[in-house]
Amino acid sequence: MIAYQVIESGKPLVCNKIQTPIPKGNEVLIKTISCCVCHSDVHFYDGGFDLGAGKMLELPLPVPYTLGHEIYGEVVETGELSDVKVGKKFVIYPWIGCGGCEMCVRGDEHLCNSPQIIGLQVSGGFGDHVLVPHAKYLHDAGDTDPHLAGAFACSGLTAYSALKKGAPYLANNKVIIIGAGGVGMMALQIAKAAFNCNPIVIDIDDEKLNVALENGASATFNSKNENVMQEIIQHTGGGALNAIDFVGSELSVNFGINLLVKGGKYVIVGLHGGEFKFPLPLIPIMERDIQGSYVGSPGDMSELMALVRQNKIDPIPLQARDASEASKTLMDLKNGKILGRASLVHS
């Protein structure tokens, strides 16, 4: 098999010929059809997350390693204990845990402290084959575009799980989505399909905001514009009850948190990085609820994929590229040049 691998953080990926894994027991070998590229891939590739004040949360990974966790592919071989059929096509749930800890046992494998994430600890979809430990991590995507299907395992799941944390959304409640990138756009589509609401979308890019408006945003605002904060407060009749921040930068959080009414909830999803400073008395006085949301559980994935199979979620803009463009795609994503999702296609 071949894999586009990281050999050094931040350096161009290298196309390596490596041994194709042989599935044993419950394992399933998937031939990658396509793998969407996500901002987390950029952070993993850069070697960590910006904690602000010049500090980094470093992610020392053994090199070489193979990125890619938004995978759609076809079963080509199974271990002796697996009864999944060769030739079937699936999206892979990649946020796999150890299976034995308290979090894994209660169904929150994505919060496991000894994770076996596909595309991080385990070789991912920048390779043309991927080994999955069990068929329970495979999800039928119905007749979804095969190049987009993998995005439901991360951007779709992340959006769905974050939206669940703010739900239920009252009819008169204005929900704000901050960031109209791949995950924010997915959240807009899922908010309409699963939560019966049309969010307000905020970004700094007018082109992305126009696409959000065409895709059902109830209103859009460019946060670079003067007086935009007052305009949003006015538009929402005093502020929103929920804001979901898919950027997660110092700028976005400091801007967004002030758009909420008392009792409002701020869900931080994006991993752009930096530090957050907020006057402590305002947290109790305003009964401010600040919550983090990280990808989603296997249960969330099952709920989301049921919606996907019913064709309830409108597609987001997609750019399919040959897998050999993996390095360039990471750079384009880092530089904000991707509208919607980019997908690497393996021939």
**Does 270 interact with Zn ion (rule: CB under 5 A)?**
no
For Zn ion, give the closer residue by CB, 30 or 159.
159
Contacting range for Zn ion; rule: CB under 5 A; set: 2-10, 48-56, 94-102, 270-278: 94-102
DSSP label at 199? -
Asked if 73 touches Zn ion (CB under 5 A), the answer is no
Residues 205-264 that bind Zn ion (CB under 5 A): none
- HEC-encoded secondary structure of 267-321: EECCCCECCCCCCCCHHHHCCCEEEECCCCCHHHHHHHHHHHHCCCCCCCCEEEE
70-78/89-92 β-pairing: antiparallel
With binding defined as CB under 5 A, does residue 104 bind Zn ion? yes
Q: Which residue has the tokens 């931080």?
A: 268
Nearest residue to 319 via CA among 305, 333, 307, 303? 333
Task: Report the alpha-carbon angle 68-186-219, nearest 5.
Answer: 150
Among 28, 91, 135, 154, binds Zn ion (CB under 5 A): 154
54 within 8 A of 43, measured Cβ to Cβ: no
Residue 187 interacts with Zn ion (CB under 5 A)? no
Which CB atom, from 38 or from 187, has the smaller least distance to Zn ion? 38
Q: Which stretch binds Zn ion (CB under 5 A): 17-25, 148-156, 222-230, 258-266?
A: 148-156
Residue choice 98, 228, 306, 331 for contact with Zn ion (CB under 5 A): 98
The whole-angstrom separation of Cα 21 and Cα 122 is 12
Q: Does 111 bind Zn ion (CB under 5 A)?
A: no
> Tell me, what DSSP letter sits at residue 168?
P
Q: Please tell me whether residue 61 binds Zn ion under the rule CB under 5 A.
A: no
Which CB atom, from 34 or from 236, has the smaller least distance to Zn ion? 34
Can residue 296 be called a binding residue for Zn ion (CB under 5 A)?
no
CA-to-CA distance for 86 and 262, rounded, in angstroms?
54
Nearest to Zn ion of 79, 182 (CB atom): 182
Q: Binding Zn ion by CB under 5 A: which of 18, 59, 101, 167? A: 101
Residue 298 interacts with Zn ion (CB under 5 A): yes or no: no
Residue 54 backbone zone (phi > 0: left; psi -120 to 50: alpha; other: beta): left
CA dist., res. 279 & res. 197, Å (int): 31
Nearer to Zn ion, 97 or 340 (CB): 97
Residue type, 223: S
Pick from 75, 112, 131, 305 the residue near Zn ion by CB under 5 A.
112
Q: Which stretch binds Zn ion (CB under 5 A): 39-47, 184-192, 225-233, 254-262?
A: 39-47
According to CB under 5 A, which one of 5, 32, 40, 242 is a site residue for Zn ion?
40
Asked if 186 contacts 155 with a C-beta cutoff of 8 angstroms, the reply is: yes
Question: Which listed range, 15-23, 33-41, 170-178, 222-230, lies at the site for Zn ion (CB under 5 A)?
Answer: 33-41
Which of residues 71 and 138 has its CB atom nearest to Zn ion in the complex? 71
Q: Check residue 97 for interaction with Zn ion (CB under 5 A).
A: yes
Per DSSP bridges, beta strands 89-92 and 138-139 are: antiparallel
Q: How far is the CB of 116 from Zn ion (least distance, A)?
A: 9
Q: Is 38 in the site for Zn ion (CB under 5 A)?
A: yes
- Name the burial class of residue 74, with classes exposed (0-12), middle (13-18) and buried (19+) by CB atoms within 10 angstroms of its CB: middle
Q: What residues make contact with Zn ion under the rule CB under 5 A? A: 38, 40, 97-98, 101, 104, 112, 154
